[in-house]
Structure 1
Amino acid sequence: MCLRSSQETEEEYTEEQQKEVLEKYDNESRFRVFDNKGLAWIVSLIAVFLSLYHLYTSYFGTPVTLQHRSLHVAIILVLVFLLYPPLKRSKRHILHWYDALFTLMALSTTVYVFIDYEGIIDRGGIPNSLDLVFGAILVLLVLEAARRVTGWGLPLLAILFLLYGIFGRQMAGLFRHRGYAWEEIVGFMYQTTEGVYSTAIGVSATYIFLFILFGAFLQKSGMGQFFNDLALAVAGQTKGGPAKVSVIASGFLGSINGAAVANVVTTGSFTIPLMKKIGYKKNFAGAVEASASVGGQILPPIMGAAAFIMAEILGIPYSQIALAALLPALLFYLGVITQIHLRASKEGLQGISKDNLPAVKKVMAERGHLLIPLLFLMYMLFFSGRTIIFSAILTILVTVIISMIRKTTRMSFRDIYEALENGARTAIAVAVACAAVGLIVGIATLTGFGISLANGIVTLGGENLLLTLMFTMVACIVLGMGLPSIPTYIITSTMAAPALVELGIEALVAHLFVFYFGIFANITPPVALASFAAAGISGGNQMRTGFTSMKLAIAGFIVPYLFVYNDSLLLTNTTFGEGLLVTLSAIIGVVMLGVAAEGFLMTKIPVILRAIFAGSAILMMTPNLFYDAVALILVVLALGIQWILAKRQGLNKLKAI
């Protein structure tokens, strides 16, 4: 049967199985499904209202900052307590009385801000008794919501920071501070834009929500199937084709949705069975999908919306961040594809028969118009001079209009309604995490913890840049375990990036460094949720899949070190000629790194040659002409020796015959 679409493969891994895996590894997907239709409609209308509210305020203007952010948080909390049961074993078809009470309490926190806004401002951060009551309610509800949606990790970290804020006076050494009363902390978290209603929620209520909504509209128009079919048509027939299909499809979708685990399950349910069918081992097939899905979050133009937060925090144009992130992201994917291709060559794996693949022309004719919204978005972001928010709103409208071109992609009123609802549901996890991160960042701001941690990392590294980078990498991976990409970036940029800036590293470089390693927590054992989800689909071993994912992503673990030492890899502060030379040498370096990691080129590579290929790769990726020349000589010698070994092995096989 011809694979004209992904339908046939999806039948091998049913929608029910996809849901089961997603719920197992992704707390965000454990929604209630109500028996009471009236209650289901109420939840649906609240979600649609939230999406329409953000569309309206993004175009016509928002209320004052504190009111806008408080309303955003309150409605998100309402949706959490309506949609997420308190425990895994809780019944999912009914609403408990205490969750109904929690929803009313969540609404009360924003109602109070709207009613007594002038009083809150006039009190200047000195809370009265009502401020403390509603502030305490907000803090506790945020912690409980974060527990339900993200698991225990983030709320426990927030609780530890709250305790640190209260008992910091009892600590000794670097992290000692004067200590704050519970009343002071609650007032700070509720009455200012430095706590729960911090920049994290500010970005969630603007850029993040709109781009998640944009992704929901793209999905409803059939963009996911289009990426799968196009990747099949382009790469399906090549050696190890299904694995390359996984990389292409997951990279595109991961950049848009910014949710690694959800992307693994959505795309992996299609690509992993195909990879296994042509002969890839279970662990490797799962690792390909996991590494490709995580990489989408560092791939411009959208980068899972993290680039827009980075622009907000650093106060630099979005286009500068996207340009800087482009080459490292492409090098990451080149490294993954190199190893995929070499593994296919080593094990004699072929692609899918051309007769069973869709034709590129037919795929483009049927759904190619869906690329127009993405191209339009890139134009708006890079060349129009309009704001990011206006660009997002207009692109959503363009998506709906463009989908009308063909019947297969045409969005009905129901599709539009469901996109509005799905967008709000998808935004819940990020918004709740951002609110909880506000507690952490708020305490860090209040106590100076970020500066103390930066000083601690620098002291631990002995002001040695390489050691400091290594300690920062470990800190980012630990901080990013089990968290969505955007809260991970906010935490790591607050806690870890200042250590690098203190050593004189440019802020953009430091932020990209911590963002990379925070993201890679999703494929780094012992808590590698993307790899674990992929293993759940492939039937492989979770830890082995995780370590194989790290091996496939090895270029991503090395490139951040290199652009810290020389930012030419970010294509900043460089001429066109220098940029071209850096790009070419980095490409050669990444390919050689893939060769060394896989240990195969024409034939099995001896250990000594693997070490030469690895060393040459590092030298080639280091923007230095002398190193490039040395590396090139070593590569030519290693390739010559490997060619001789392969030829000799071929002759021996002929003699044996």
Structure 2
Amino acid sequence: MADNENKQGNRIEESQTEEPTVESLIAGGIDEAKQEEIKAKFDREFAYRRLAGILSKIITVVAITWSCIQLYTAAFGVYPTTIQRGQHVGFALFLVFILYPMRKAIKGDKVPWYDYIFAAAGAYVAFYHILNYRDIIHRAGAYTQLDIIVSIVAVLLVLEATRRIAGPVLVTVASIFLLYAYLGPMFPGFLSHRGYSIQRIATYMWMSTEAILGIPIGVSSTFIFLFLVFATYLKKTGIGDWLTDLAMGVAGGSTGGPAKAAVIASASQGTISGSSVANTVGTGSVTIPLMKSIGYRPEFAAATEAAASTGGQLMPPVMGAAAFIMTEFTGLPYVTIALSAAIPAFLYFTGVFMMVHQEAKKTGLKGLSRDQLPNPFRLIKEKWFLALPIFVIVYLLVSGRTPMRAALFAIISAIAVSFIRRDTRMKLIEIVEGLEEGARSALPVVMACATAGIIVGIVTLTGLGVKFSTGILLLSGGNIYLAMMFTMFASIILGMGMPTTANYIVQATIAAPVLVELGIPVIAAHLFVFYFGIIADITPPVALAAFAGSGIAGSNPFKTGVEASKLAFAAYLVPYMFAMHPELVLVDWAPASLAFSLATALIGMYAIAMGVSGFANERIGPLTRLLLAAGGLMLIDPRMVTNVGGIAIVVVVYGLLYLRNKKRNAAASASS
């Protein structure tokens, strides 16, 4: 017994005298294989077959060919509309049926015979547009029997491929819309319409440019794909690890440092990854073990990373794929959308940062010592050039270049800067691999856009958009707050089972026009539905980013989801802020009004953070928490009376707490 005690004492003494570095804390933690396993468990995009042999080489050649075609059209101009979009869907269908099994639970990497048939059929129906391009145009709607058969098969293949890579929810919603088009007379009230034949529905879905080959695929087949290739090359340069180390070096030593570093790193990673789950696993493999090492509860550590990573899609300049589609729905240039999203993104991460800070202060968690952390100045000095491609793409977008051309030059710059240092230099094989990986990363986006296009097509065909708008207006009684609340719930619920891109397309088609009709500016309305579609990834009961984080932390998934939504509580209010204060999205703004709105938003969010966390330099009771939260909520309303009232409540309550704390400290000093 004495020997055991001596051994334990020696281990404690060693841990006190030898402080581990960041590298030693995460060494042997979450390796790449474990990361892939977690991503595959929570995101269908990563649950693909690991092929080998000749079939693997065929897939590589097809994927690289696809990327090369996209790069060619970026450099020399796009093909005619249906050819550009048709071949895009054809490549995606072929790759999805070979790479993704019919059921996620199916183990093994062998491709069954029926998937070869599906892949061949997918390529054929897509390239049917290329083979019969002129004839289809000349027929002008007088479709042949073969056109109808090809269209029916194409719709079914698109739905099945989407189910495999994005899950059943989006496919179910699209199928309901298809049934709505066919069974129109059977629907009650304002939803009723005359109905359409299967032939009419199928050909409208596939032969026209209003549905599957509509705007979403049009955007995907031009610049979304290129931005995904750009993101792939950024990862290959090692910028992700560099940004994480830099964030750790800057914030890791402050109160609750690793958690704050997670917020900063995930915000910066938003320029690279458009996936909440991938961002959570990538950054979280470093930050979550570090947070646990200084005393954060596993649920809180995972929730912090999930909440921060989810906001990555909001971060300009390279936001999620849905932001590119927003350019088509709003008619605004991408640079305008990126600038409009900047302040809401800042508010989102500020809200999460405030909650992390309050939790750290409440539980007395310190940061890591300086000798445990990377030196940020040395990191900047050694690898500053890794950020150059991001500045290149920002400059090109701001200077008026098209997103396609900006992405093309950004890809070239990402490869070029890697040659500045030997340890970042890409080999030829890595450059080729980037083309394959970029194509693979595009598959979920392409299929989400294709199936969302079905929904958009049905809305256009049946006039459902106007009917839905009328229904929401009647249900809300014209009350803008109720309309926003209904839209928020719809975006979050759909976002629990749909990719962000598809969710945005549906809401932009149906819900955003209602908000515009009620007086909310176009960009604010579209960012509103975009924002809440993203927030769904940390909203229980289906909080995929939180569940992925729990896989790393070893925490309870549902509790992690609750913790993540609590952390982002203030951030749930940000869309209401910019909807009611449109100057926050740079609509009709002036320096004075923007400064005032930003100040009230920050004060309100900090008050809510104190109220939700139950800490304001000391633990506070239920009544004080309620008053602080109420004061913060009042600051969302743009009316002067509510702003003044909210500031008054926050100042008085916080002032009283400050004076009480000061008096207590003075008494303690006097007694000592």
The equivalent position to 1:102 in structure 2, one of 118, 127, 134, is: 118
Q: Find the counterpart in structure 2 of residue 641 from structure 1.
A: 656
Alignment of 1:601-620 (within 5 A): 601-620=616-635
Measured against aligned partners, the alpha-carbon deviations of 1:386-419 in whole angstroms (never above 9, x if no partner) come to 1111111001101111111111211111111111
**Cα deviation, residue 218, structure 1:** 0.1
Q: Find the counterpart in structure 1 of residue 602 from structure 2.
A: 587
**Cα deviation, residue 170, structure 1:** 1.2
Cα separation, 1, equivalents of 2:668 and 2:271: 46
Q: Find the counterpart in structure 1 of residue 14 from structure 2.
A: none
**Cα deviation, residue 125, structure 1:** 2.2
The equivalent position to 2:560 in structure 1, one of 527, 545, 548, is: 545
**Cα deviation, residue 649, structure 1:** 5.3
Q: Find the counterpart in structure 2 of residue 11 from structure 1.
A: 28
Question: Does structure 1 residue 89 correspond to structure 2 residue 105?
Answer: yes
- Asked if 1 retains the 8 angstrom alpha-carbon contact of 2:39 and 2:548, the reply is yes
Q: Find the counterpart in structure 2 of residue 497 from structure 1.
A: 512
The equivalent position to 2:313 in structure 1, one of 293, 297, 301, is: 297
Alignment of 1:248-287 (within 5 A): 248-287=264-303
Measured against aligned partners, the alpha-carbon deviations of 1:455-479 in whole angstroms (never above 9, x if no partner) come to 1111111111111111111111112
Greater alpha carbon shift after TM alignment, 268-277 vs 623-632: 623-632
Q: Find the counterpart in structure 2 of residue 33 from structure 1.
A: 50
Measured against aligned partners, the alpha-carbon deviations of 1:288-316 in whole angstroms (never above 9, x if no partner) come to 11111111111212222333221221111
Question: Does structure 1 residue 597 correspond to structure 2 residue 612?
Answer: yes
Q: Find the counterpart in structure 1 of residue 156 from structure 2.
A: 140
- Asked if 2 retains the 8 angstrom alpha-carbon contact of 1:346 and 1:600, the reply is yes
- The DSSP-based 3-state class of the residue aligned with 1:32 is coil
Q: Find the counterpart in structure 2 of residue 395 from structure 1.
A: 410
The equivalent position to 2:189 in structure 1, one of 173, 194, 198, is: 173
Greater alpha carbon shift after TM alignment, 446-455 vs 224-233: 446-455
Runs ≥4 residues deviating over 6 A = 1-5, 651-657
Measured against aligned partners, the alpha-carbon deviations of 1:322-366 in whole angstroms (never above 9, x if no partner) come to 222111111111111111111111111111111111101221122
Q: Find the counterpart in structure 2 of residue 186 from structure 1.
A: 202
For 1:239, give the aligned amino acid: T
- Asked if 1 retains the 8 angstrom alpha-carbon contact of 2:521 and 2:587, the reply is no
Q: Find the counterpart in structure 1 of residue 523 from structure 2.
A: 508
Q: Find the counterpart in structure 2 of residue 47 from structure 1.
A: 63
Q: Find the counterpart in structure 2 of residue 226 from structure 1.
A: 242
Measured against aligned partners, the alpha-carbon deviations of 1:217-251 in whole angstroms (never above 9, x if no partner) come to 00001011111110111011111111111111111
- Asked if 2 retains the 8 angstrom alpha-carbon contact of 1:616 and 1:634, the reply is yes
Q: Find the counterpart in structure 2 of residue 215 from structure 1.
A: 231
Measured against aligned partners, the alpha-carbon deviations of 1:255-296 in whole angstroms (never above 9, x if no partner) come to 432111111111112111111111111211111111111111
Greater alpha carbon shift after TM alignment, 198-207 vs 618-627: 618-627
Q: Find the counterpart in structure 2 of residue 21 from structure 1.
A: 38
- Asked if 2 retains the 8 angstrom alpha-carbon contact of 1:291 and 1:553, the reply is yes
Cα separation, 2, equivalents of 1:2 and 1:393: 46
The equivalent position to 1:61 in structure 2, one of 77, 80, 86, is: 77
- Asked if 1 retains the 8 angstrom alpha-carbon contact of 2:321 and 2:445, the reply is no
Q: Percent identity?
A: 42
**Cα deviation, residue 627, structure 1:** 4.0
Q: Find the counterpart in structure 1 of residue 469 from structure 2.
A: 454
TM-score normalised to the size of structure 1? 0.96
- Asked if 2 retains the 8 angstrom alpha-carbon contact of 1:585 and 1:628, the reply is yes
**Cα deviation, residue 29, structure 1:** 0.2
Q: Find the counterpart in structure 2 of residue 203 from structure 1.
A: 219
**Cα deviation, residue 19, structure 1:** 1.6
The equivalent position to 1:560 in structure 2, one of 568, 571, 575, is: 575
Cα separation, 2, equivalents of 1:388 and 1:604: 50
Measured against aligned partners, the alpha-carbon deviations of 1:411-437 in whole angstroms (never above 9, x if no partner) come to 111111111111111110111111111
For 2:601, give the aligned amino acid: A
For 1:70, give the aligned amino acid: G
Cα separation, 1, equivalents of 2:20 and 2:276: 26
- Asked if 1 retains the 8 angstrom alpha-carbon contact of 2:303 and 2:567, the reply is yes
Question: Does structure 1 residue 465 correspond to structure 2 residue 465?
Answer: no
For 2:44, give the aligned amino acid: N
**Cα deviation, residue 621, structure 1:** 4.3
Measured against aligned partners, the alpha-carbon deviations of 1:82-129 in whole angstroms (never above 9, x if no partner) come to 111112333432121111111111111133211211111112123211
- Asked if 2 retains the 8 angstrom alpha-carbon contact of 1:223 and 1:370, the reply is yes
Q: Find the counterpart in structure 1 of residue 4 from structure 2.
A: none
Q: Find the counterpart in structure 1 of residue 144 from structure 2.
A: 128
Distance 1:10 1:158, change over 3 A: farther
Distance 1:519 1:6, change over 3 A: farther
- The DSSP-based 3-state class of the residue aligned with 2:287 is helix
**Cα deviation, residue 4, structure 1:** 7.4
Cα separation, 1, equivalents of 2:607 and 2:656: 15
Q: Find the counterpart in structure 1 of residue 453 from structure 2.
A: 438
Distance 1:2 1:16, change over 3 A: farther
Q: Find the counterpart in structure 2 of residue 322 from structure 1.
A: 338
Q: Find the counterpart in structure 1 of residue 10 from structure 2.
A: none
**Cα deviation, residue 318, structure 1:** 2.1
**Which structure 2 residue ranges, 5 or more long, are not aligned?**
1-17
Cα separation, 1, equivalents of 2:204 and 2:613: 53
**Cα deviation, residue 64, structure 1:** 0.6
Distance 1:602 1:447, change over 3 A: same
Measured against aligned partners, the alpha-carbon deviations of 1:546-583 in whole angstroms (never above 9, x if no partner) come to 12211211222112112222312223202122222322
Distance 1:111 1:627, change over 3 A: closer
- Asked if 2 retains the 8 angstrom alpha-carbon contact of 1:586 and 1:622, the reply is no
Superposition CA RMSD, Å: 1.9
- The DSSP-based 3-state class of the residue aligned with 2:220 is helix
Q: Find the counterpart in structure 1 of residue 6 from structure 2.
A: none
**Cα deviation, residue 625, structure 1:** 4.8
Greater alpha carbon shift after TM alignment, 7-16 vs 449-458: 7-16
Cα separation, 2, equivalents of 1:410 and 1:601: 49
Distance 1:12 1:650, change over 3 A: farther
For 1:444, give the aligned amino acid: V
Cα separation, 2, equivalents of 1:47 and 1:157: 29
- Asked if 1 retains the 8 angstrom alpha-carbon contact of 2:329 and 2:508, the reply is no
Greater alpha carbon shift after TM alignment, 461-470 vs 11-20: 11-20
Measured against aligned partners, the alpha-carbon deviations of 1:175-227 in whole angstroms (never above 9, x if no partner) come to 11111111001110111111110111111111211111110000001011111
Q: Find the counterpart in structure 2 of residue 524 from structure 1.
A: 539
TM-score normalised to the size of structure 2? 0.94
- The DSSP-based 3-state class of the residue aligned with 1:351 is coil
Cα separation, 1, equivalents of 2:23 and 2:291: 14
- Asked if 2 retains the 8 angstrom alpha-carbon contact of 1:158 and 1:436, the reply is yes
- Asked if 2 retains the 8 angstrom alpha-carbon contact of 1:3 and 1:357, the reply is no
For 2:587, give the aligned amino acid: T
For 1:606, give the aligned amino acid: G
Greater alpha carbon shift after TM alignment, 249-258 vs 239-248: 249-258
For 1:199, give the aligned amino acid: I
**Cα deviation, residue 5, structure 1:** 7.1
Cα separation, 1, equivalents of 2:316 and 2:68: 27
For 2:448, give the aligned amino acid: A
Distance 1:459 1:621, change over 3 A: closer
- The DSSP-based 3-state class of the residue aligned with 1:404 is helix
Cα separation, 1, equivalents of 2:172 and 2:225: 25
Measured against aligned partners, the alpha-carbon deviations of 1:577-629 in whole angstroms (never above 9, x if no partner) come to 22223222322222222111211021111222222222222334444555444
For 2:471, give the aligned amino acid: G
Cα separation, 2, equivalents of 1:8 and 1:600: 30
Cα separation, 2, equivalents of 1:91 and 1:579: 55
Cα separation, 2, equivalents of 1:600 and 1:645: 14
